[in-house]
Amino acid sequence: MPTTTLAQLLATTDFIWSRPAPTAPHLTNIQWRADACDARSILFFQRFDDNLTDAELYQRYFAGRSFAALVTNRRLDCFEQLPPTIALAVTGPERWAEVVRQFCDLVYPLDTARLRFIGVTGTNGKTTTVKYLEALLTAHGQRVLSIGTLGVFLDGERLVETGFTSPPLIELRRLLHAHQDHADVVLMETSSHALDQGRVAGIPFQAGGWTNFTQDHLDYHRDEAHYFAAKARLLALIQPGGQLYCTSPAVVERLAADVAAGALPVAVTLLEPAQLAPEALTAQPFLALAHNRANYALALALAECVLGTAPAADAWRQLQPVAGRFECQVYGQRAIVIDFAHTPDALDTILSAIRSGFPEARIAALFGCGGDRDRSKRPLMGAAVARHSDAIFVTSDNPRHEAPERIIEDIVRGIPADQDYRVIVDRAQAIAALFDQLDTRPAEECWVALIAGKGHERYIDQNGHKTPYSDQEQVAHALQRLGWTLQNTGNTGNTGV
């Protein structure tokens, strides 16, 4: 048992400002959510540059809440509204992650001498790469804990969904501490937000992977340079002797200047997409997609880092399709693809792959864009879909606190004036209309319909509420209504459908 108490650590930490409580509080736990606190909690609250005032923060997170101490990354105007019995402290933005890590080390210690950690970043492909790597390592007898967009998994079995690609540091450490005795390797998707906010501070990665880099999250990072710099922070977390493996020549080229100047702490290795025999593509049709072969190459390299030897040539047999990533079903001359693609590059990539895999088919695309995020990518998404599609349905995704109609207006600005498209705000109605249109086409016409943006998600986030919703369920309703019969699944290699 540690000899240092939470109260002692709070009292001895070097804060840039503090207001001790009149009497030393009896502290028993640390929290990152105000609604999870009790009268003996230290609440670690990270202030971001958003549209909320400090007064609004107080009303939303602090008013009426019970906690013994509050630690923030910057001083708040609402401090004076908090009772004097609550201890207050400010770390300063640059020391936030390190201070939170110290408290996590006390409450949720990790056996870092035994556990091996692998981190994967990139705009797209993090989830797929981690799931491929999880499968490869599990097949070699490793006990694998993975944390990412789909949730927390132990040996491929989901334990919990966190709602984050990379959970906040306190939540991450709680999960790692709870399950570390049952794992040998921890695989983590490391988002740009997580790297920028210090959510993975102190995690000693044995190696890292970087899939690609394209426009996304500029609402948070402000510009592309800050976004890239945030992802590049993964390199500083890789331990001496480790490597960063990357499947993007553009990323490696961008890092080259830092490599030449000796500014990078680890080596960077560029990987080519895996070369697979026809047998593999027939058995695992999702590997016919070039970006999935790149993800597989990354998983193979990272697996070799953990195992000390390269996986067998037929390791692809261990892989399974990833939920919400190119879920493909064929009904006669109609193929339906559900995918999580929600950036301009992801849409361009998957539609290009469909055009290559189904060269004789016409393409219908249904998509939207999330609200309260980077508005500049919306017309780029519209343009990407327009370049590849014969029929376009623009609808809602997760509008959050924006009007769906406004988001759609931004999207359609990227669609050429002479190109037809349909706007149906309600996503379920849009999917029904897509199927109705396909059903009216001559039976001999080949069509591939991409339903993009939601993927694995089972909700629509609007006005602060997550309403149950599933693209898969809406597709099933349409199929039942129209009486379509399943012919095949996962087929991406035919010249037709």
Q: Give 384-400 as a DSSP string.
A: HHHHH-SEEEE--S--B
Residue 14: pLDDT over 80: yes
Q: What pLDDT is recorded for position 492?
A: 42
User: Could you give the residue range(s) of every CATH 3.40.1190.10 domain in the chain?
Assistant: 111-318
Q: How confident is the model over 163-208, as pLDDT tens digits?
A: 899 999 999 999 999 999 999 999 999 999 999 999 999 999 999 9
Whether residue 350 contacts residue 385, with contact meaning beta carbons closer than 8 Å, is answered with no
Q: Cα(16)–Cα(46) distance, rounded to whole angstroms?
A: 15
Q: Cα(300)–Cα(284) distance, rounded to whole angstroms?
A: 16
Q: How confident is the model over 390-441, as pLDDT tens digits?
A: 999 999 999 999 999 999 999 999 999 999 999 999 999 999 999 999 999 9
Q: Cα(461)–Cα(191) distance, rounded to whole angstroms?
A: 20
What fold, for 6-106? 3.40.1390
User: Could you give the residue range(s) of every CATH 3.40.1390.10 domain in the chain?
Assistant: 6-106
Q: Name the band, by pLDDT with cuts 50, 70 and 90, for residue 485.
A: confident
Q: Name the band, by pLDDT with cuts 50, 70 and 90, for residue 486.
A: confident
Q: Cα(302)–Cα(262) distance, rounded to whole angstroms?
A: 23
For 38, which DSSP code?
-
The strand pair at 327-331 and 488-489 is best described as antiparallel
Q: What pLDDT is recorded for position 205?
A: 97
Q: Name the band, by pLDDT with cuts 50, 70 and 90, for residue 218.
A: low
DSSP reduced 3-state for 150: coil
- SS3 of the chain: helix, strand, coil, percent, to 5: 40, 20, 40
Residue 496: pLDDT over 90: no
Helices (H), 108-232: 126-139, 169-179, 192-197, 218-221, 224-232
Average pLDDT over the chain, rounded to an integer: 92
Torsion of CA 348, 352, 354, 359, to 10 degrees: 150
Extract the tokens encoding 37: 């606190």
Q: Helix 290-307 vs helix 344-357: angle between axes, to the nearest 10 degrees?
A: 110
Extract the tokens encoding 284: 């695992």
Q: Cα(195)–Cα(174) distance, rounded to whole angstroms?
A: 18
Q: Name the band, by pLDDT with cuts 50, 70 and 90, for residue 8.
A: very high
CA distances from 282 to 287, 300, 316, 348 (A): 9, 20, 11, 24
Backbone φ and ψ for 92, nearest 5 degrees, come out as 90, 140
Q: Name the band, by pLDDT with cuts 50, 70 and 90, for residue 4.
A: confident
Q: Cα(105)–Cα(126) distance, rounded to whole angstroms?
A: 27
Q: What pLDDT is recorded for position 222?
A: 66
First to last CA, the chain: 63
Residue 81: pLDDT over 50: yes
Whether residue 98 contacts residue 56, with contact meaning beta carbons closer than 8 Å, is answered with no
- Between 264 and 238, the more confident residue is 238
What fold, for 327-489? Protein-Tyrosine Phosphatase; Chain A (3.90.190)
Q: Give 218-274 as a DSSP string.
A: HHHHSSHHHHHHHHHTHHHHBPTT-EEEES-HHHHHHHHHHHHTT--SSEEEE-PPP
Q: Give me the percent of the chain exceeding a pLDDT of 90.
A: 81
Q: How confident is the model over 328-360, as pLDDT tens digits?
A: 888 999 999 999 999 998 899 999 989 988 889
Extract the tokens encoding 318: 């261990």
Nearest Cα to Cα of residue 162 among 150, 178, 144, 177? 150
User: Could you give the residue range(s) of every CATH 3.90.190.20 domain in the chain?
Assistant: 327-489
Whether residue 408 contacts residue 394, with contact meaning beta carbons closer than 8 Å, is answered with yes
Q: Name the band, by pLDDT with cuts 50, 70 and 90, for residue 217.
A: low
* Beta pairing partners, 118: 187, 207
Q: What is the CATH number of domain 111-318?
A: 3.40.1190.10
Extract the tokens encoding 121: 């970043």
Amino acid at 356: S
Nearest Cα to Cα of residue 448 among 282, 281, 332? 332
Q: How confident is the model over 426-480, as pLDDT tens digits?
A: 999 999 999 999 999 999 999 999 999 999 999 999 998 999 999 999 999 999 9
Nearest Cα to Cα of residue 474 among 410, 426, 438? 426
